[in-house]
Amino acid sequence: MQPLADAGQSLAEIDITSEQLYDEKGYPWEEWDRLRTESPVHWYQRPGYEPFWALTAHEDISLVARSPQLFSCRQRTAVETPDEIEPWETERERRSQVYGHVADYPAGLGFMDAPLHRQVRQAMYPCFTPKAMAAMEERFYDLSTGYVAELVERLDEHGTADVAHDLAARLPLAAIFDLLGVPHEDWDHLFAVHQDTASAFHKGYKQEEGEDAQVRFMNAMIELDRYMSELARTRMAEGGGSGTDVLSRLAKASVLGDPLAFHDISYQLFNLVQAGNGTARNAIAGGIKAFLENPDQLQKLIDDPTLLDGAVEEILRWTSVAVVMCRTALQDTEIRGRRIRKGETVAMFFPAANRDPEAFPDPYAFDITRSPNRHIAFGGNGEHRCIGAALARAELRAMFRALLPVLPTLELHGESKMLVLRLLISEFVQLPVRRKGAVA
């Protein structure tokens, strides 16, 4: 059991929003534990942040996720400082002028409420069903074995490898490009572009004298947006053709009685690439780290590969890549007797819920035999549950099947580094490994 935060510290002094603290110590487990114990529905006010209700208990977060009639995601989805809100509002205004829609138009599934959300999701969902993913899993495994072979070559040549960059990023991008119908000949270019969005702030990655990480990041985002926009225009001009990929389905979809506009499709593509890659990539990296730090669990999986499904669920719970998601109360309501007024924000801290002892006995143990495992790594079981949940599971199963013969030969080497970006997602920017027993 993790120790609780300093009991002498008042609840009002607890900090769960400082990105600097996340960068220095990782997730604030002690602070979340104390809030969950003493104030699970906590009115959080700190200088520099818009105030909100912080939810840390599994039961409460699950309730909000299942209650779209009470909590909207259109107004606010992230914990933001005033400095972050202004540029976002400016960007929304720019998009509205470029595309001719209202300024608060939802730029992707994550910002949509029903009925728009439901119909756009239904247009894409046939590509993401468990049955569709099962049909693709062997292809994911073939890709994974190739990527693992490249990792082994790198280890043999250099002695070390950074699995955050050299392995974990590869399969999730390949899978989402496949599902979107991105031409295979463009994959290598897009891999390189996306690497700059995922690694721009990693001090050892393509760092050149005088280079600004923020500029590199923004240039990569613009290039990715440009490519996806051009792809959307091309497919729309074809009317979707006979394709069954995500982009073709969106190009042929009728939503609320009308075809989707260009900006609708462009927003969906961009968000699918970012979100579809982020969860799986960082769960793969975090899963590798968890197995290397818990060799008894790795041995269990080696001895009994049928435990793979349970291992994937525990990796998802353990890594809890998605950090915070916000909702806005649509009417006055109560949670645990705390009155939440219409217009107020609730922030769901998913990693805290995934360490709730009421839902998970011995929550700080990495246990691939854990059952049941009711984690909410995909945002709970409401209508906003991640559309790519089955995809992420298929990717993780494929990758760890391919890795299983290699993992026992590896050990962590040097400093691992994880960033938390705008409190939305944890990002492994460095996870070096080497062969066991290698000479430093």
- Residue 320 has a pLDDT of 96
Q: SS3 of 322, please? A: strand
Query: Do the bridges between strand 425-430 and strand 417-421 make them parallel or antiparallel, or are there none, so unpaired?
Result: antiparallel
Residue 407 carries which DSSP code?
Answer: G
Helices and strands in the chain: count of H runs, count of E runs: 16, 14
pTM: 0.91
| Nearest to 260, CA basis, from 232, 289, 301 | 232
Six token digits for residue 331: 């009417």
In which residue ranges of the chain is pLDDT below 70?
Answer: 1-8, 81-89, 91, 197-214, 438-440
Q: For residue 84, what pLDDT is reported? A: 62
Predicted local confidence at residue 336, as pLDDT: 96
The maximal CA–CA distance of the chain, rounded, in angstroms, is: 65
Strand 258-259 versus strand 254-255 pairing type: antiparallel
Question: What pLDDT sits at residue 192?
Answer: 82
The H or E element spanning position 162 is strand 160-162
* 346 φ/ψ angles, rounded to the nearest 5 degrees: -115, 135
Cα angle: 116, vertex 119, 125; to 5 degrees: 135
pLDDT at 203: 46
Amino acid found at 295: P
For the CA atoms of 52, 54, 59, 64, the dihedral, rounded to the nearest 10 degrees, stands at 20
CA distance 141 to 353: 31
Q: What is the pLDDT of residue 384?
A: 81
pLDDT at 402: 98
The residues near 142 (Cβ < 8 Å, ≥ 6 apart) are: none
φ and ψ of 361, to 5 deg: -55, 135
Burial class (CB in 10 A: 0-12, 13-18, 19+), 276: buried
pLDDT at residue 439, rounded to an integer: 61
Q: Shortest CA distance to 325 belongs to which of 279, 378, 375, 272?
A: 378
Determine the pLDDT at residue 132. 95
φ/ψ region of 415 (left if φ > 0, alpha if ψ in -120 to 50, else beta) reads beta
Residue 42 CB contacts under 8 Å (≥ 6 apart), including other chains = 11, 35, 53, 54, 56
Per-residue model confidence (pLDDT) at position 4: 47
Task: From 373, 353, 161, 118, select the one nearest 255 (Cα to Cα).
Answer: 118
Domain 11-435 has CATH 1.10.10.10: no
Question: Do 246 and 260 form a contact (C-beta atoms < 8 A)?
Answer: no
CA 42 → CA 79, 154, 216, distances in Å?
14, 48, 38
Residue 349 host element (H or E) = strand 345-349
pLDDT the model gives residue 204: 46
The answer to whether 61 touches 323, Cβ cutoff 8 Å, is no
Q: With contact defined as beta carbons under 8 Å apart, do 278 and 321 qualify? A: yes
DSSP classification of residue 29: H
Residue ranges per structural domain of the chain: 11-435
